[in-house]
Structures are given as C-alpha cells and as structure tokens.
Chains A and B, each alone.
Chain A
Amino acid sequence: MRGKLVGSPVRRLEDLPLLRGRGRFIDDIALPGMLEAAFVRSPHAHARIDGIDTEAALALPGVHAVLTLEDLRPWLVNEELVVGLPSASYRQFRNRPVLARGEVVHVGEPVAVVIADNRYIAEDATQLVMVDYDILPAVSDCRAALVDGAPKVHLDAEDNLLAAFDMGYGDVDAAFRNARHRFRETLHIHRGGSHSIECRGAVAAHDAVSDRLTLWVSSQMPHSTLRVLVDMLGRDENQIRVVTPDIGGGFGPKLVVYPEEVVACIATLKLGHPVKWIEDRREHFMATTQERDQYWEVEIAVDDDGRIQAIQGDIVHDHGAYTARGINLPQNSGESVPGPYIVPAYRMGAKLALTNKIPVTPVRGAGHPQATFVIERLLDRVARELGLDRAEVRRRNLVPASEMPYERPLRSRGGVPVVLDSGDYPRCQQMALERAGWDAFPARRRTAHAEGRHIGIGCANFLKGTGRGPFETVTVRIGTSGRVHVYTGGTAIGQGTKTMLAQIVAEQLGGDVGNVTVTTGDTAATALGIGTSNSRLAVTAGSSAHVAAGKVRDKLLQVAAGVLDATPEDLEIDGRDIIFRPQAGRIANKKLTLGEAAHVLAGTPGYVLPGGMEPGLEATEHVIIDRTPFAGGTAVAEVEVDVETGGVRIMNYVLAIDSGRLINPQLVDGQAVGGTAHGIGNALFEWMAFDENGQPLTTNFADYLLVGACEMPRVEVLHQESPSPFNPLGVKGVGECGVVPAAAAICSAIEDALAPFGVHIRKAPISPPEIIALIDEARRPSAAQYSR
C-alpha cells in the first residue's frame, strides 16, 4: 500500500524533545531517595575467587551495602540468567550467574556491587572491596581454545566446544570432484562492539504499597527482561513492570538481559530505596556483549564461466565466556553465504568456541557482514583467477527476478525455510554500478596512476533476512480525548519507530500524525512483546499496526454511521473528525469527532452498545510473520590508498538497496547511511583487541576507533522497491542494510587499488600497518609466487 502518509518523508515525532534537551534517557531518571550502584569487576580473564572482603568498603561513609552473590541468594529462586536460544547443537550450557560464583571467566565479569549515596562514593568503595583471586590459565584465541590441551575457559568443563553444527544441501562432494576450478580461502573477520553513544543502564524501584517492582532499563527487549526477572526472582508478572525510556542507540547488545539489571532489582528490594546503575564507557568495553572473531576456511567450485557449482567450508566462531544469546551468529553466517546467488550445492560447518572473553551476541548485522565478506571475497578470487570482470561474475550468479520467490534448501535457526521473497537483484546491482561509474573506472584509474595515486573500486552484493517473527504486538486505541494511542512491544532505539507506526496508523485514522501517541517497550502497556532486533519492527509491528488500525477504522465508521444516520461509504475521516460526505447529492454538514465516537464505545452503565459492537474503539493485533522478507542490494566503494602510509580514503560510496515498500524514505536513508558508517568502521577501524591472557587492550575511544565525520564519505542511497509478498505492507527491514556489505565492498576496492602490487586481502578490518605489510610482502618476489 502507498497512501498520503505511508511512503512520504513525514517529520519525526521523536525530534522536538530530543533537540531541546528534553529527552528522557535512563540516566535522566531521578527518584526520591535514589541510591547509585557501582560494580566490582574481575580484572582477570580467568581466576578462582578464594574470598571477598567487603569490610573496608562498607565502612566508607555514604555506602549503604556491598553485595556478593551470597547476599543476593535470599531473593533468587534461580541465580543464572537462562537466555540461550533453543538449539540441538549445544554441547554445554554456560549461563551467566547474576554475580560471580567462585570463578570469574572474563575481565569485567561482575563480582560484587556497591550501593551508595551517589556514584562517586560507590566507585570509591569498589576500590576498597578486596577480592582474593587465584589466577588461572586463560584462553583468548578461539582457534587455540579448540586445540587439545588448551586451558579450560570454565574449571568444570571437559573442553571449550560450546556447540557445533553443519548445514547444507546438494551433492557438494560431487560438485567439487567435477568442478573445472576450485579456489580456497582462509579468512578472518573481526567485528567490534555496538558502542551506542549511550551506554547501558537501569533504575529499579519497589512500590511497597502495591508490592510492585519497576525496572526502567535501556533495553531493546523489555518483555524478555520481564520473563527473566520472573524466572529469577520468583515474583509473578503482575509484580514486575519493565519500562524502556528513551534509548540512546542499541545496535544489538541491548537486546539481551544483563546481570546488572537483575542486581539493581534485588538491591532495591533489599534496601527499600530506588537504585540506579549507569554503565560507563570503560565498563561498556568489558561488560557489554560484542560480536568478535570468526575464522573461515572456505572453498568454491566454479565452471569456466565463473558460475558457482558449490561452496564448502568451516567456521570457528568466538563465543566468549558465556551464552548470552545462543548459536544464532554462526547460524546466520552459515545461512547467509549463498546470499543472493545461485549456489547449487553447499556445506558449512560451525564450531562455537568458548573463550575467556566478554560474551558475544549480535551487533548490527549479526553474522551477515561476515558471510557477505566471505562470499564476496570468493567471487573476487574467481574473477581474478578467470580473468573476468568482478561485477560480471556476480551478475552471472545472481538469482534472476524470474526465479522469485526463490527457495533455498536451508532452514533458519527456527526451522523456517529460507525463501528469497522478491526483487530484481541483477537490476539493483546494475543501478549501483551505473551510479558509481563502474565502467568508466579504468579511465579514472589511468588518470590517477599518471598522478602517482592508487585508486580502486569494489562492489559487494548482500542479502539480509529481516523482520524476524513470530510477531510484534500492537494495540491501536482511540481515547475519549480523541487522541489515537498506539502501544507496541517493540522498542524505540533511535530508528524512528514511533514515527513509522504513527504514519501507518494515521494513514487510516484521519491522516494527522500529530494526533498519534506511540508508547513503546513497556510491559504494562502490552502483555506480549518481542522487542527490537534484526531490522524487524517495520515488518512485524508495522504489519500489526496496519491491521489493527484497519479494524479500528471499521469500528469508527460503524459508530459514526449510526450516530450520523449515514452509510460508512459516505463517511470520511479527516483529522480528528468523521465527516458525512454523501455520494448522492445530499448536503453534508454533519460530523462526529474521534473522541465522541470513542465515548459511544466506552459504554454507559445500563445502556446497550450500538449495533452489537465490541466495546472500546480499539484493536490489538499480533500479525504472524513466519517467513522472513529479505532486504538486499549492492554497495560500490571507490577508494584511494596511500601506499606509503597505508591510509585509505573512501572517495565515493553508492548503496543500492531493495528494502521493499518504503514507509518513510528519509528514515530509510538515515538507516542506510548510519549502517554504512558502522560498516566502514568494521572495514577499516574497529578492533576490539585482547592480549593472549584475555585482557582487553582497547577500552576507550582513543584506542578503539569509531568512524568520525571526516572519515565518512557522502553515501548515495538508491532504492529499488520490490514489495515483499510476505506481509500486508510489502515492507522489508532496513536497519542493517548499510552495515552488511560495507567491509566486503571496501576491501575489494582496496585490493583493486593495490592490484599493481598483487596484494590479497583476507581479513577485516584492515589497518594501515597491515596494508603496508601486505604491500611489502607482495613486493618480495619469492613471496609473490608463494602466495599463489
């Protein structure tokens, strides 16, 4: 559908308070009598705890409590956060304890908490908590973790293999046996943290009158936080409310529940004061989940024309020390290698290795950037070896529009078939290439060479499964004030969810976006809710909002028809009024306001509702979304590489995407460009370093580099709008579209720029010193031969 509002760049509902400094983020909440928490965290990657002495800390004036796991136990019916997604592939279960239980397994693991008058005092006191650590051998590298005799990440483990699985289809062995060409690659993709500019935080308060615990939390999934709290605290749903205030960015890690949130709840129950905990950036580097390393051994089989016959390989995935989400990242990666291409036979094996490092969960892209890097590196290799144009090799292998919907014999983690739903991938690639001047690039390169400059161009195609189901709750309600209220389990993390839903709802309810209030992420507002992840809300919440608004519209027109003595066809909803506009020449001057209509269905004691209608001018929907719409497209990057310094400058960047029907083009472009910035970080800058003992080495923004305005090129975003047949709005998610192809496209461009040296890039991110090392290595004649 496209209407007056859906499809237009409506100005955001979110902006005014944020621009005036009147947002309400987690750290902006201040309650009477509120205390503040600071955590004592492990300085070791692996150690046994032989004792914790809290006496000196407790003696510090202003300190109210110093709590260890022992102190929390009276409030806990379960002391572990059990959150892992179901899978038959687990070999061991590694849930996080709420505070360390005699052993710490990563630097930053919470050991104890100090509750004090304010954060200054609380942080002072953490330095006075004496923890007696017996340091144990740690394992930092996920490949080393799987070697026989490696130190154990957990003392009671037999080995460090958390899970293992294989996926695939077709006769891979035969395809490789019969292949004209086969090429192997060893690739390493590193991803960093999310680094939302707002760190995590929680405020817990207990209302003793109603025995109700409220947790405000900077979370993408408050309903799952509620369920974990119910499981751990033994309280029922009615005794706990989880609310998200404004959230200063999410990008993945805020989708899981964390120990600190549970601790804040117990601290408020124990002390009778509201308790606030705000993470600082250093903690964010050590205690907020990250995505990290995947090491890939892959091989591709192609015919003489570069057509893919089969792909096979194995992934070693760094899982970190605990399961904070599950097997989903390597699952996504393995599932996504074939991407938009026809791959007749496929096998990918994955091993998830425990390491003594911060647990790993999705960061924007969630395994897809890695898979895209892998397939795109393989296709570049094919092009080079067969002497073909890189874009042409891709074009030959893309699933053509005539094959849509295209089912691939793979299943998602939930057993859902992988069906590519819609789109013209070759056309999308062509659009990007044309805009980026792909064909004219050789001339630009000659000019640059004449000036002694090294420029290169690279392209990458991608697909991103979006809108993961099974549903998102939306209630649409018109109040007697005449205001339209929308409630959803989805959370607003900056992506414009409120505006997006208001557009969809207002489209059918009077067209006035300003008359819509959207409440997100509050367990008291919707009983069910999944939350924000996987570019899912436009698809899931959008669909529910669309259907619910349609039902409210029907009710509204039925009520108005009764009151105005009209037929629904003669009524029009305009702003906050329903106006009688008869088709057949009768004079129109009758109207009913939305508020008056709501009054009718609010019910009056002793009076019947009109026309046997259901009470309430409202509807709640959970549109079931089982099949994933695949957004996709093509990124083309043009770079200049300084061969003396290894510095890379992105000169031009084009991103052509197909994210289905656009609800708000301005917001879609914002997501695409913002995601690209994150992807450029993954290509060139973001490196979460650990030493061999599992000590994090990059724990501030001077060591860990985020992309700034000067590194960021202007991104040109092009759209192909192929409606998804899998949901009523025809939309696909877009939040992760920018990030997925970026590293693949940029590394391809760098390699192209360095083609005169014969440099081959096998990892991302790639830093200036690494580029220089590659050039030096390639310049050595023997090395050049060896690298074949």
Chain B
Amino acid sequence: MTGTTRRISVTVNGTPRDEEVEVRLTLADFLRKRLGLTGTHLGCEHGVCGACTVLVDGMSARSCLMLAVQADDCDITTVEGIAPSKDVLHPLQEAFRDHHGLQCGFCTAGILTTLVEFLRDNPSPSEGEVREAISGNLCRCTGYQGIVDAALDAARRLREAGGAAR
C-alpha cells in the first residue's frame, strides 16, 4: 500500500521473473515472500551474519542489505539453484553432508552460496583462505570445523571433476 512500486525483471535460478515490487522491499523478502524461495534465511537483517547471502550476477551479496529493485536485470542464484538437478547435489552440498558441515542448517544457505563463488575463483584454497572466505558468515552450531573440512574436500572434488561442476 505505501510508497511507490516498480517493475523489475530478474532471472532467479535460471527462471526469468517479471514482478511489480514496492521500492522498499528487500531482495531477501522478495525471494522469500514473493517467489517462495525460503531457503535464503534472515539471521540479523543488518548485514553481519551472512545467512541471507545469494549470488547476484555471480557475486555474493547480502540479500538483506539489497533492495529488490536494485536487482533489476540481474541474474540471481539462491541455495535452491546450486544443485545441478533435483536428484544430484552440488559437490559442496555433498561434502557438507559427509563432513557434518551443518547442524541446524539455518546459516547453511549463505555459507554454500559464499563458497560456490569462492571455490570458483580459488579452486585450490588453503585452510586459512577458506576460513577467511567464510569469515563473513556466522554459524552458532558447528564451530566451523565441519564447514572448513567440507569446503576443502569440495574443492578437491571440483578439481577432480575438472571444474565442470560449477
């Protein structure tokens, strides 16, 4: 009801969407409430916890700090769009399963999206680099150890797959 609305065109997980949105609607709420993609989670809504991280044109971004209108003409990937198909997991998702990289699973979406970008840009990271890469993602359950192990293992799997699985 309040304020003005704008029409935006975005591609989300490969599907083009054309939507009328309020200008103050955050990208996170647009994804979660308008599109029903509730895999992106809100943990702090002030840009620190990283749970809401999505990929905007391939770059990780806090969807709580971005307005939906700012995503106009952008290509967005959320956690729902990481896996290559509905039967196959992304190597990162597989590795998170194998290394107990998640407990409650609330921060997981943001960490996965962050790592998708990171491993694309740095396919052979050191443990320190992985820790640095996820230093903007808070996890209260795991102590990060399983996440770091999973990321390193996923990097190995991705390298072995010849970088094909992005």
Contact = CB atoms under 8 A, between A and B. Distances in A.
Given A11-B98, A251-B140, A708-B138, A198 B38 contact: no
Given A20-B83, A120-B24, A196-B106, A249 B141 contact: yes
Interface residues of A, number: 62
Contact of B143 (A27, A28, A494, A674): A674
A19 B106 contact: no
A709 B131 contact: yes
Interface string A692-722: 0000000011100011111010110000000
Nearest to A18: B105
A280 B45 contact: yes
Contacts of B103: 249, 494-496, 670, 674
Contacts of A28: 32, 38
A674 B142 contact: yes
Interface stretch (B4-12, B107-115, B158-166): B107-115
A124 interface: yes
Interface in A661-688: 666-667, 669-670, 673-678
B155 interface: no
A61 interface: yes
Given A19-B112, A21-B109, A710-B135, A198 B146 contact: no
A21 B40 contact: yes
A666 B46 contact: no
B147 interface: yes
A496 B102 CA distance: 10
A249 B44 contact: no
A281 interface: yes
B125 interface: no
Contacts of A299: none
A714 B139 CA distance: 15
Secondary structure dominating the interface of A: loop
B153 to A, nearest CB: 14
A426 interface: no
Nearest to A22: B39
Contacts of B136: 708
A197 B78 CA distance: 18
A395 interface: no
Given A674-B143, A701-B46, A709-B134, A12 B100 contact: yes
B139 A197 contact: yes
B62 interface: no
A19 B96 contact: yes
Interface residues of B, number: 58
Residue of A20, A24, A28, A197 contacting most chain B CB atoms (<10 Å): A197
Contacts of A459: none
Interface in A20-36: 20-25, 27-28, 30
B140 A195 contact: yes
Nearest to A61: B1
A629 B148 CA distance: 33
A320 to B, nearest CB: 22
B104 A197 contact: yes
B84 to A, nearest CB: 12
Secondary structure dominating the interface of B: loop
B104 A198 contact: yes
B104 A249 contact: yes
Given A117-B1, A706-B140, A248 B100 contact: no
A197 B100 contact: no
Contacts of A24: 38
Contacts of B145: 673, 712, 714-715
Contacts of B15: none
Contact of A700 (B36, B37, B46): B46
B162 to A, nearest CB: 23
A709 B48 contact: no
A282 B89 CA distance: 35
B80 A494 contact: no
B95 to A, nearest CB: 10
B105 to A, nearest CB: 3
Interface in A557-577: none
Contacts of B104: 196-198, 246-249, 493-494
A738 interface: yes
A670 B146 contact: yes
A669 B49 CA distance: 24
A23 B39 contact: yes
A670 B104 CA distance: 11
A152 to B, nearest CB: 35
Given A11-B98, A121-B1, A21 B38 contact: yes
B31 to A, nearest CB: 10
B132 interface: yes
B44 A281 contact: yes
A314 interface: no
A15 interface: yes
Nearest to A704: B48
A14 interface: yes
Nearest to B43: A197
Interface in B18-46: 22, 24-25, 32-33, 36-46
Interface of B: 1-2, 22, 24-25, 32-33, 36-46, 48-49, 51, 78-80, 83, 89, 93, 96-98, 100, 102-109, 112, 130-132, 134-148
Given A196-B106, A249-B104, 4 more contacts: A20-B83, A198-B43, A198-B106, A709-B139
Q: Which 3 A-B residue pairings sit nearest by Cβ, starting from the closest?
A: A21-B39, A494-B104, A248-B106
28 contacts: A15-B105, A19-B105, A23-B39, A25-B38, A25-B41, A28-B32, A117-B1, A120-B25, A196-B104, A197-B104, A197-B140, A198-B43, A199-B43, A247-B104, A248-B41, A248-B105, A281-B43, A281-B49, A494-B106, A496-B103, A666-B100, A677-B140, A701-B49, A706-B140, A709-B130, A709-B132, A709-B144, A709-B147
